[in-house]
Amino acid sequence: MASPATELRTQEWESVFQQSAKLGVLHVHLSGGEPLAREDLTQLVSCAHDCGLYTNLITSGIGLTQRRWDELVAAGLDHIQLSFQDSHEASANWIAGTRAHALKLQLAPMLRQSRVAFTVNIVVHRQNVDHLEEMIALAESLQPQRLEIAHVQYYGWARKNVEALLPVRKQVLESMETISAAQKRLAGKIRIDAVVPDYYARFPKACMGGWGRRQLLVDPRGTVLPCHAATVIPGLQFENVCEQPLEWIWRQSDSFQKFRGEDWMPDPCRSCDRRTEDFGGCRCQAFMITGDATATDPVCSLAPAHSLIEEELARVDLIARPALDPRSPQSDQSWIYRPQPK
């Protein structure tokens, strides 16, 4: 099936929101790329809000003026999330490949003056996890209601950079202690939600809350995916909202049926008590690491392929060098940027 070559137009997105609300969707996350790059963003927020959807904006903050913010608030935006790459400007900009860090710091007071929920998200990996405490202090100074501390998940570009990004076990354990201390200290002030790297977990994450169970993703061209990474799985055909009703795509289409429920599950998932909690983990991760999308997520300690993860962790531990220095010209040689989207 050929996807349209261009992004969905305003009316097409509006139809997506209307169809989603009818299907029972409660939250819409406007993410990117950079949603502020859409000139009609306010109109989209307004439509989603009128459909009864709780409207979240996930942004770098680039392009957010006071005027635009006021318009978004008036349109009914419920929640904004700003992501930070580090507490150090040079290092944050180096990781992101942009110069957004200082801008984000300036935006916080403007965001706080509204009745829109404000979340700061900090992305954690081997290169910055050792100053997690400083990053939490930076987040605290911005006074959000909520702080998300997300260890990188190893998909797409992060997977290509796994040797530079995956923390060693000691770093993960230390970061969990730091997070737990901050949760105690900031209780009632900032709610801290944390995501640990699943390579170090005993059991897999309930990826997307289960395949085709709670969430769907509509990409800028209208292709509907069960999750961000689903296109890595070969043989799946994804439908487009310009060609099929969203309800049919969600309920009937092959891509959403493929790993829905338990029929697809292999052992040990099939007979595991945790199958209703983690749904066998992540299909994309299973494919990326074992070559089989129906395998038990190899991060699971019960998975037949778990040794692949253990080998990878051991290898990363061995090659873990001192943190890459953003000022060192050599550092770029071991770092792969995602190309700027056209």
Partner 1 sequence: MPHLEDLSRPRLAAGCRWAGEGESRTLVFPEGVLRLQPTAQAILERCDGERTFEQIMAELAAAYSASDPVKIRQDAIAFLERLRQKRLVDF
Binding residues for partner 1 (CB under 8 A)? 26-27, 52, 54, 56, 78-79, 81, 114-119, 145-146, 187-191, 193
Q: For residues 14 and 10, what is the distance between their CA atoms, to the nearest angstrom? A: 6
Please tell me whether the peptide bond between 33 and the residue prior to it is cis, using omega within 30 degrees of 0.
yes
CB of 150 to partner 1, least distance (A): 12
**Close Cβ partners of 153 (under 8 Å, ≥ 6 residues apart):** 195, 197, 198
Nearer to partner 1, 26 or 137 (CB): 26
CA angle 149, 151, 157 (to 5 degrees): 130
Nearer to partner 1, 190 or 236 (CB): 190
- DSSP string covering 282-322, please? -HHHHHHHHS-TTSPPTTSTT-TTHHHHHHHHHHHHHH--S
Contact between residue 306 and residue 176 where contact means Cβ atoms under 8 Å apart:
no
CB of 169 to partner 1, least distance (A): 28
CB of 118 to partner 1, least distance (A): 7
CB of 257 to partner 1, least distance (A): 25
Alpha carbon distances (Å) from 304 to 57, 59, 260, 270: 39, 39, 22, 13
CA angle 274, 227, 288 (to 5 degrees): 75
CB of 313 to partner 1, least distance (A): 29
Alpha carbon distances (Å) from 120 to 17, 54, 132, 167, 235: 26, 18, 14, 22, 37
Nearer to partner 1, 103 or 117 (CB): 117
CB of 188 to partner 1, least distance (A): 4
Nearer to partner 1, 119 or 171 (CB): 119
Nearer to partner 1, 3 or 143 (CB): 143
CB of 190 to partner 1, least distance (A): 7
Nearer to partner 1, 45 or 164 (CB): 45
Nearer to partner 1, 184 or 327 (CB): 184
Q: Other CB atoms closer than 10 Å to residue 117's CB: what's the count? A: 16
Please tell me whether the peptide bond between 268 and the residue prior to it is cis, using omega within 30 degrees of 0.
yes
Nearer to partner 1, 74 or 336 (CB): 74
CB of 148 to partner 1, least distance (A): 9
* Segments of 10-145 assigned E as strands: 27-30, 54-59, 79-84, 117-124
Nearer to partner 1, 116 or 299 (CB): 116
Angle between helices 101-112 and 66-75 (to 10 degrees): 50
CB of 278 to partner 1, least distance (A): 18
Q: For residues 328 and 88, what is the distance between their CA atoms, to the nearest angstrom? A: 16
